[in-house]
Structure 1
Amino acid sequence: MFNMKLQNYIDWDVKPVFKRNDRNKFAYRVVLQFMDGTKHTRMYSGFGTKKEAENARKITIRELAGGTYVVNDSVKVRDFLSYWLEYDIRKRVQSSNTYDSYSSIVRHHIIPAIGNKKLTEVNKGDIQRLYKDRAGYSKSIVRQVKTVMNVSFHFAVSCKLIPVNPAEGIDLPKTVDSKPYHTRNIDVAKTLNMEQILLLLEASKNTPIHMQVLFNVLMGLRRQEINAVKYSDVDYINRTLTVERQLGKELDRVPNSRKESMTKKELPLKTPSSKRVLPIPDYVFEAILEERKKYEKYKSRRRTIFQDNSYICCSSYSGKPRSKDFHWRHYKELLKKTGLPDIRWHDLRSTYCTLLLSKDFNPKAVSKLMGHAKELITMDVYADNANIIPEEIPELLSYMNEVMPNKSSHKDAERNVQDILIDVDGYLPEKETGAEKSSD
């Protein structure tokens, strides 16, 4: 494909300009030296005058001194993107979801447009035309194209394949709502209020996805995290849940048999920050205890076929974890039955986050609960507080009082909301502790 080792030179020398007798043109040579003592020489020629060659030589010296010199200046975009997918994305992700998404965008939307151009020749105009063309195809697709272009070309800069990222600072066409990277606006119509959440919780009790609903809307777990939660992850003394795995599809995994599931493999979490210890609300803790009783009953009745792998959200017949789309039919039926808005499953997680942020919970604490890599992501993705939460939604305290019974007084409830939902030490400033807030 191309030799990335050429970028690992440890010393360099730029030879003086000379005149080529064979072509009556001016040229100069760059000599790169490597750790093993080998050298690589490149010649730049075709200059009509000595002055032109001298100016180009000065630019090359500046690039070498500044670390922006590009050795592989003939790499095609298609070859680079294939390299990026295999040697960056594949190494950084365990699940096939991200890899497949990025690969699809590269193959179907970027390579057909600029794949044959040299990487060093791609300019801002090329990027703008790409975005304009893909915006006419799909607003969703063009946003993904922008993400892939930014991430991949940033990698190209780090590999010294290009001196600067031409995709940086390029906005989407005006026909597409401008959104900074890693942001998403929350539509009020796609976020449940307190009354609607309580209605959903009650209606889900008689369905196979009750625990999945609780883990989503009351603890903010991702879909693949929910399906991977085990009873062994629960600290029954301190009432906490350790989130340390997800279920998904491994990259390039070949099943050993036809019966082996490809999408229920235990995988590392999305990011290191996704591993977290969450306080369990009383309502959820009691539900876990009840679900455990059922689990033991199923295991006892079906000793020969029940797989005792400790998954909380599992089949009552086999003990196998739920598939990634198991909840979908039941969830849609719940929304229709209760008359709730037809929102996505992931919008329940967004609801959980925005409810906390709308009541001025510390963003770092909320980010920790959500398993986000940075506080910025939580704020950017979820915290458009002026538009997310309607004014008529009740206080967060009232909500937590109802979903977490046995809180005897307003002051106790307010303090316990923070004790249960937020790890106060290290995240909430002292002025926001329960004792001080109750005096406001």
Structure 2
Amino acid sequence: MPKRNPNGAGTVTKRKDGRYQAAVYVPQPDGTRARKIVYGKTWDECDDKRRELVERDQQGIPTPTRSAKLSEWLPYWLEHFIKPQCKRTTASKYEMHVRLYLLPLLGSKGLESLSPRDVRLFLAKVTERASAATAKESHKVLRTALTSACRDELISRNVAMMVPPPRVVSKESRPWTLDETLTFLAAARTDPLYAAFVLAIALGMRRGEIVGLRWSDVDLDNRTLVVREQVQRIGGELYSGTTKNGKRRPIPLPRICVVALRWHRMRQDVLRHLAGAEWQESDYVFTTRTGRLVEPTNVYRSFRRIAAAAGVPVVRMHDARHGTATLLVACGVSPRIVMEILGHSQIGLTMNVYAHVTQDSQRDALANMDRLLRQRR
């Protein structure tokens, strides 16, 4: 028989029935430690299992002494897998789906006992309570969490991958026409956030990118702008992070943007003088009357208020990006350039917009074909 194992390496003993058992204290998915017992017909077989448990412990891999429940694994997964590796916005979205849907509906299920039927029933309930789009996002979170459990060898299969997510019918947004866009800009000309609306319409900048814009990223003399970060409210506080695709985006400024930003900078200088000691100096372009960072929600509220007052369709501010693509395509800009201006991560996103806004051009081309084929009678 080998010498006694050191502390923490477990023990191997012989049972009354002739078999052997090994006992090792191993980490659990919830961060605690518990005694894990494995069995073998021979001492060597049992010792191999003991060594495997010790190696998993040294690597920090949890080994549940029983079938861990989703209510134990999901919080552990969020804390040790998602938060250290993902953006704060992503972690917040995943936490919301875990808190509102996964834990209440699947928390009592064991990792190993979770079945495809359980997942199908879960998706049906989320679709009924919220929407198919929400169910699809919850399915993605569950699939990602179970993938991590598979990699940690807590389960042998990912049942979420066996169940397709629900189909989502995208709502087709109607961008503003050129007349509606001009009407909105005319109505917004006296608003303190006029320059923000010009950037949203002319450049297709996202709301968080507009709020996170700094004067150090704006060169009005050379008519350029660099989108580096976005500001969002997460967990009750304003959070500044990277752009959606994680890349900086330089954009040349059209004249309307240069004029609007020059006017906005002069207005901000006046506010700084009036605020005096109450002014909180920052490099942000869009601030409150005392220099504080403006709320992204307030930008959207002003956008909707002006649209309603101007008599144009009240749309999401994000739909202004669709309108930007419409105007760019009407000017003959290629999809690749549109993709770079809007900051899409994939050309497929741009092509969906491009295909929608080129229907008029296709209609004109086929009308020309009709005239050509009808020339000879």
Give the structure-2-normalised TM-score: 0.71
Structure 1 spans left out of the alignment, 5+ residues: 1-19, 32-39, 47-56, 58-68, 179-184, 252-261, 396-440
Contact map agreement 1:215 1:221 (CA 8 A) in 2: yes
Contact map agreement 1:70 1:163 (CA 8 A) in 2: no
Are 2:208 and 1:224 equivalent residues in the alignment?
A: yes
Corresponding position of 2:38:
43
Give per-residue Cα distances to partners, 1:253-278, cap 9 Å, x unaligned: xxxxxxxxx6345x221456343222
Of residues 137, 155, 180 in structure 2, which corresponds to 1:162? 155
Of residues 78, 96, 104 in structure 2, which corresponds to 1:104? 96
How much has 1:131 moved relative to structure 2?
A: 0.8
Corresponding position of 2:181:
197
Of residues 131, 151, 168 in structure 2, which corresponds to 1:177? 168
Structure holding more helix per residue: 2
Which amino acid counterpart does residue 113 of structure 1 have in structure 2?
L
Give per-residue Cα distances to partners, 1:90-140, cap 9 Å, x unaligned: 224554x54343223212211222212221332322211211122222214
Distance across 2 between alignment mates of 1:334 and 1:393: 34
**Alpha carbons of 1:41 and 1:325: their partners in 2 closer, same or farther (altered >3 Å)?**
closer
Corresponding position of 1:292:
265
How much has 1:21 moved relative to structure 2?
A: 7.3
Contact map agreement 1:124 1:170 (CA 8 A) in 2: yes
Contact map agreement 1:188 1:390 (CA 8 A) in 2: no
Give per-residue Cα distances to partners, 1:39-58, cap 9 Å, x unaligned: x9963689xxxxxxxxxx9x
Q: Secondary structure at the match of 1:120?
A: coil
Contact map agreement 2:325 2:353 (CA 8 A) in 1: no
Contact map agreement 2:207 2:299 (CA 8 A) in 1: no
Corresponding position of 1:417:
none
Corresponding position of 2:237:
263
Corresponding position of 1:9:
none
Which protein has greater RCO, CA pairs closer than 8 Å, 6+ apart? 1
Aligned pairs for 1:33-432 (under 5 A) are 43=38, 72=64, 74-93=67-86, 95=88, 97-139=89-131, 140-168=133-161, 170-173=163-166, 177=168, 185=170, 187-189=172-174, 191-249=175-233, 263-265=237-239, 267-271=240-244, 273-315=246-288, 317-353=289-325, 356=328, 361-363=334-336, 365-372=337-344, 374-375=345-346, 379-380=348-349, 383=352, 385-387=354-356, 391=360
Contact map agreement 2:200 2:207 (CA 8 A) in 1: yes
Which amino acid counterpart does residue 348 of structure 1 have in structure 2?
A
Q: Secondary structure at the match of 2:296?
A: coil
Deviates more, 1:267-276 or 1:206-215: 267-276
Corresponding position of 2:12:
none
Which amino acid counterpart does residue 226 of structure 1 have in structure 2?
I
Distance across 2 between alignment mates of 1:390 and 1:207: 35
Number of matched residues? 326
Contact map agreement 1:355 1:389 (CA 8 A) in 2: no
How much has 1:323 moved relative to structure 2?
A: 1.1
Contact map agreement 1:94 1:250 (CA 8 A) in 2: no
Deviates more, 1:294-303 or 1:208-217: 294-303
Give the structure-1-normalised TM-score: 0.62
Deviates more, 1:133-142 or 1:79-88: 133-142
